[in-house]
A = this chain, B = another copy of it.
């Protein structure tokens, strides 16, 4: 058997502790699979005394993770501190500068500094592995980078934030508001005290930026992602989606278009019969459309200590077995520059829920404005809610009513222009709701 691989683990939170336990628990299997003994020899964390389910006594404890990264007794650094700056960045940079491979679960670090770090890894001739950074325990990085090596990818999309999917699932199943479900998610520990990063789509955007670079061979560009969260989704939208044969999911979508690679995160209508529509609760899923394989979908846990550790340990095993692939699938010099595509140019189907004044000619007025922009309508649904029907059975109150449109493929620019014209005509009692449709 070759020399053993000695790991230094920086960050002993839920994931870090699970990694240390897993490496010990699976020691024999990992050695059999990779031909090398894999051992955690050093750790670094803020709190030495917490019970993490293993004894730190046999491990070299570093108060400073950067010092650990430079230590001669560590062959490979596992960064599980988190955050795009500060100690996480410092420890990864120190490890690569010392010529040591790095395994990280840090999506923010990769999304914001991935280009520079990939270059450092390349210069050092070592791997920078990040399976755990996207979709937790799902081996989606491996699937795209290695499993689909023979394919040209045309689209990658997925549910990559469990908090949002949990909230949308409960809103759909129980008819609750976003606010009520968010509170429950916080009580259950599925959402942070400040949930902005998750529910407004930024977490998904980081993960999407990583997938985009890998799938399309472009320079990572997290700031080029168009982002819209789920806080504006209403129970009525979920009911309408149900009726029209859709579910609403927060998707991250990267798609090759003539103008470049679209990167967008937004609440999305997906056909109820699609694989991704079945994904409920905190589960994640990623679908890859590619020329040879057609459609490939991976469904699994997007978070949790053990599931995330599973991805970290898979990366560690690959390193031990000598796997060497460029960080984003090809040498950094070969990565094409990211071309940002404005959302105005996005072309697709749209769900548009208008709240219109209940008077004659409104539907005709709306349809005319759509037609002027050459937007074809697949369905128009004008129906009062059951609450309205009860309070005003004859429809004489002039109370605003929802008017729902499903469009065939149209550009977002045309859709927005038509909505502006409709608003200018004084037909709307409220700002319109607009949810993009993603088809299989």
Contact = CB atoms under 8 A, between A and B. Distances in A.
Interface of A: 18, 22-23, 26, 29-30, 32-35, 131, 137-139, 142-143, 145-152, 217, 273, 275, 278-279, 290-301, 304, 306-307, 309-314, 317-318, 321-326, 329-331, 334
Contacts of A306: 291-294
Contacts of A291: 306
19 contacts: A18-B292, A30-B149, A33-B326, A33-B329, A35-B324, A137-B292, A139-B142, A139-B146, A142-B146, A146-B317, A275-B275, A292-B307, A292-B310, A294-B306, A296-B299, A296-B301, A297-B300, A299-B299, A322-B324
Q: Which of A35, A150, A311, A321 has the most CB of B within 10 A?
A: A150
- Nearest 10 CB-CB pairings of A with B: A139-B147, A150-B313, A32-B330, A149-B317, A292-B310, A296-B300, A137-B293, A292-B306, A297-B299, A293-B310
Contact of A300 (B30, B294, B310, B329): B294
Nearest to A140: B147
Nearest to A335: B32
A150 B26 contact: yes
Contact of A149 (B33, B273, B304): B33
Given A294-B300, A297-B298, A326-B33, A143 B146 contact: no
Contact of A293 (B23, B307, B329, B334): B307
B313 A138 contact: no
B326 A323 contact: no
Contacts of A35: 324
Nearest to A295: B300
Contacts of A307: 292-294
B297 A293 contact: no
B326 A324 contact: no
Given A137-B294, A293-B137, A297-B299, A314 B147 contact: yes
Contacts of A301: 293-296
A329 to B, nearest CB: 6
A279 B34 CA distance: 34
Majority SS at the chain A contact face: mixed
Contact of A148 (B310, B324, B334): B310
A365 to B, nearest CB: 41
A162 to B, nearest CB: 12
Contacts of A326: 32-33
Given A139-B147, A298-B299, 12 more contacts: A29-B149, A32-B330, A33-B329, A34-B149, A137-B293, A139-B142, A139-B143, A146-B318, A146-B323, A290-B310, A293-B307, A294-B306
Contacts of A149: 26, 29-30, 33-34, 313-314, 317-318
Contacts of A148: 139, 310, 314
B146 A314 contact: yes
B298 A145 contact: no
Contact of A275 (B147, B278, B304, B309): B278
A18 to B, nearest CB: 8
Nearest to A299: B297
Contacts of A293: 137, 300-301, 306-307, 310
Contact of A310 (B150, B217, B299): B150
Contacts of A22: 150, 292
Nearest to A18: B292
Q: Which of A30, A146, A294 has the most CB of B within 10 A?
A: A146
A145 B33 CA distance: 8
A330 B32 CA distance: 5
A334 B32 contact: yes
Contacts of A138: 296
Given A33-B330, A306-B293, A321-B325, A143 B145 contact: no
